[in-house]
Structure 1
Amino acid sequence: MFQDSPIYDRLIAERGDIPTQVRREAERVSREIEFAMQPLLQSGGHAPPPGRPAPPAPTWQRSALPPGPQSL
């Protein structure tokens, strides 16, 4: 994109090639997410992988907030 730009070349020399670093990091994170999601995708997203128990259902309940000061 900016290969023939002396300003861009100087910035890369001073600061590093940030767009390339970001691209590589995004690709690495994407691969990690794909690896982590494989068991879920293989099971259709409905059941835990074989040999793993299902996680317990949430036990918290929503409750109303106590009344606060009334403003008129």
Structure 2
Amino acid sequence: MFHDSPIYDRLIAERGDVPTQVRREAERVSRELELVLRPTHALGYPDPSPRPSSPGAGWQRTALLPGQLPH
């Protein structure tokens, strides 16, 4: 995205590639959550309630507006 920008290159040199570090950490957390949410599957046991494998099936992330509380 900003790979041709001297300012971006300087920030990476000074602070490290924070976006890449965040992406890797998010991927790691996502893998761990998958293991926690499906413990029997991770241990080699069949999943007692198979879920559809269609695109989009899985976690749905929704944002809350400031001041909103989850239901």
Report if TM-score (shorter chain) is over 0.5.
yes
What is the root-mean-square deviation in Å for CA atoms of aligned residues?
Answer: 1.9
- Secondary structure of 2:3 counterpart: coil
TM-score (norm: length of structure 1): 0.55
Aligned to 2:61: none
Query: Structure 2 stretches of 5 or more lacking a match?
Result: 42-46, 51-71
One-letter amino acid matched to 2:49: G
Structure 1 residues 30-57: Cα deviation after superposition (integer angstroms, max 9, x where no partner): 0001111123672229xxxxxxxxxxxx
The 1-side partners of 2:39 and 2:18 are apart by: 33
Identity of aligned residues (%): 71
The 2-side partners of 1:43 and 1:37 are apart by: 13
Q: How many residues align?
A: 45
TM-score (norm: length of structure 2): 0.56
Aligned to 1:44: 49
- Secondary structure of 1:24 counterpart: helix
